[in-house]
């Protein structure tokens, strides 16, 4: 069911609360080449992601479109909110069928390279560089829209992880938040020894982005290379040291492997929220889940510590972007709408509405001043973050569980760190090679 409302400038906003998933297969005779047109009137189609509680997001978007309508008479915009889970099928189908494709889309920032390889996203480098607000975009967010030096969208929001800990348990055991990774492990063992009903820290063998800060903090990397050509580095000595640090937390003295080896990131947050763990690595986006659990009112958050005292472990900078499809026949209008949806004003309003962290450093500072909970995550971003290789192979590596398999093989004792990392590196290199 779609709702429509007449807005200034004959702008029609159509909000789809429920959508029918398009088939994954599109006609192979279609192509996603540029239309060659740049019409200044008509209808623009926008696809944004459906959130668990979507109404606040819809209200922010509605205001953006009202302002857009005032600036562009004789223009209409239809907005459809699509499920995140089926985004890959719908968006790739749209790339192959320009007649039914949107002009502007929201997409996950790890999808950028794959969508560029598919030829679906427009190169907006010139427009992005000319955008006055772009200079304040943080470097990692900018990296998430960049492939081979070209920009294919505007960062929309960012999400990072930090260390949640139980203040009541730490008070009872006279513990302080750890300042190094070694202290983290030692503190987890102290909690488990004194409170065997709790995991010292909830960790997951299938929690890639909870594990990678241990690799990055020890000087390891996922891969080396640029320009679309990458080689796995997960088997380097530095990376192996990080893998060992993370997998050492799986055991009866911290988080029993039988329980924790198969846990995902959501599972670890659930364990913490339900009162089963003294610590967990969770995101700014995990706040609502923790507040709804047994840990409510009994926790605090600090940046995940690095190897040296006072340092912060590099976190993965997740999040979403707004892009323009290459097939659009309204390029100028679509780029303007992209900028408005990803602007400082809109990102600030999205934080208030949804809790999404802005990608602009100055706007993040403003929201941190309003909400103390945000500060550890802002500090984590300020300390420096990491991102996945800008290769279309990453989607294959991620979906085939290459890294979780590596962690689980070590945790189970089937392979040592060197053998497991070597096998993971081989699988990664096969994926990198398959995309050229």
Please calculate the CA angle 398-403-405 and round it to the nearest 5 degrees.
110
Other CB atoms closer than 10 Å to residue 36's CB: what's the count? 7
Look at the alpha carbons of 313, 238, 251, 182 in this order and tell me if their dihedral is positive or negative.
Answer: negative
**Contact (Cβ atoms closer than 8 angstroms) between residue 154 and residue 68:** no
At a CB cut-off of 8 Å and minimum separation 6, what does 72 contact?
A: 9, 11, 40, 41, 333, 336
**Contact (Cβ atoms closer than 8 angstroms) between residue 128 and residue 348:** no
| Phi/psi of residue 385, nearest 5 degrees | -120, 175
Look at the alpha carbons of 316, 319, 323, 327 in this order and tell me if their dihedral is positive or negative.
Answer: positive
CA atoms of 388 and 410, how far apart (whole Å): 22
Q: What is the pLDDT of residue 85?
A: 77
CA atoms of 370 and 265, how far apart (whole Å): 28
One digit per residue, pLDDT tens: the chain, 436 residues? 222 333 344 344 444 433 333 333 333 333 455 667 899 999 999 999 998 788 999 999 999 999 999 999 999 999 999 988 788 889 989 999 988 899 999 999 999 999 999 999 999 999 999 999 999 998 889 999 999 999 999 999 999 999 999 999 999 999 999 999 999 999 999 999 999 999 999 999 999 999 999 999 999 999 999 767 899 999 999 999 999 999 999 999 999 999 999 999 999 999 999 999 999 999 998 988 899 999 999 999 999 999 999 999 999 999 999 999 999 999 999 999 999 999 999 999 999 999 899 999 999 989 988 888 999 999 999 899 999 998 999 989 998 999 999 999 999 999 999 999 999 999 999 999 998 6
Alpha carbon of residue 23 to chain centroid? 25
Predicted TM-score (pTM) of this structure: 0.83
CA atoms of 241 and 263, how far apart (whole Å): 22
Q: What is the pLDDT of residue 34?
A: 62
Q: What is the pLDDT of residue 35?
A: 60
**Contact (Cβ atoms closer than 8 angstroms) between residue 313 and residue 217:** yes
What secondary structure does DSSP assign to 227-266, as a single string? TTEEEE-TTSHHHHHHHHHHHTTBSTTSB-HHHHTT--HH
Helix, strand, coil percent values for the chain (each to nearest 5) = 45, 20, 35
Strands 11-16 and 2-7: antiparallel
């Amino acid at each position: 069911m779609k709702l429509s409302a007449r807005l200034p400038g004959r702008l029609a906003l159509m909000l789809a609360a429920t959508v029918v998933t398009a088939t994954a297969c599109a006609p192979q005779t279609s192509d996603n080449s540029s239309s060659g047109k740049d019409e200044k009137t008509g209808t623009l189609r926008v696809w944004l992601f459906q959130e668990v509680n979507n109404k606040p997001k819809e209200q922010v978007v509605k205001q953006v479109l009202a302002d857009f309508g005032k600036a562009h008479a004789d223009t209409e915009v239809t907005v459809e909110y699509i499920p995140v889970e089926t985004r890959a099928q719908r968006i790739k189908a749209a790339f192959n069928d320009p007649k039914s494709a949107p002009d502007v889309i929201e997409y996950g920032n790890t999808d950028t390279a794959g969508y560029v390889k598919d030829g679906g996203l427009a190169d907006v480098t010139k427009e992005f560089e000319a955008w006055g607000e772009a200079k304040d975009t943080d470097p990692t967010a900018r990296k998430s829209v960049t492939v081979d030096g070209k920009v294919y969208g505007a960062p929309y929001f960012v999400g990072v992880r930090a260390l949640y800990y139980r203040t009541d348990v730490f008070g009872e055991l006279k513990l302080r938040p750890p300042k190094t990774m070694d202290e983290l492990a030692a503190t987890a063992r102290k909690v488990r020894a004194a409170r065997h009903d709790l995991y010292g820290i909830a960790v997951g063998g299938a929690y890639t982005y909870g594990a990678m800060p241990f690799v990055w903090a020890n000087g390891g990397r996922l891969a080396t290379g640029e320009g679309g050509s990458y080689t796995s580095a997960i088997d380097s000595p530095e990376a192996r040291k990080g893998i060992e640090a993370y997998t050492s937390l799986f055991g009866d003295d911290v988080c029993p492997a039988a329980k924790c080896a198969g846990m995902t990131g959501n599972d670890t947050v659930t364990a913490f929220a339900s009162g089963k763990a003294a610590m967990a690595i969770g995101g700014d986006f995990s706040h609502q889940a923790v507040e709804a659990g047994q840990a409510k009112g009994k926790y605090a958050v600090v940046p995940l510590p690095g190897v040296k005292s006072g340092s912060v472990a590099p976190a993965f900078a997740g999040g979403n972007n707004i892009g323009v499809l290459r097939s659009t026949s309204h390029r100028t209008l679509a780029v303007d709408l992209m900028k408005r949806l990803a602007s400082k004003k809109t990102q600030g309003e999205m934080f208030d509405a949804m809790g999404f962290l802005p990608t602009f450093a100055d706007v993040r500072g403003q929201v941190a001043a309003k909400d103390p909970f945000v500060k550890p995550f802002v500090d984590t971003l300020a300390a420096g973050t990491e991102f996945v290789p800008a290769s279309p192979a990453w989607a294959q590596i991620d979906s085939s569980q290459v890294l979780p398999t590596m962690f689980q093989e070590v945790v189970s004792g089937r392979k040592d760190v060197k053998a497991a990392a070597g096998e993971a590196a081989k699988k990664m290199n096969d994926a990198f090679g398959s995309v050229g």
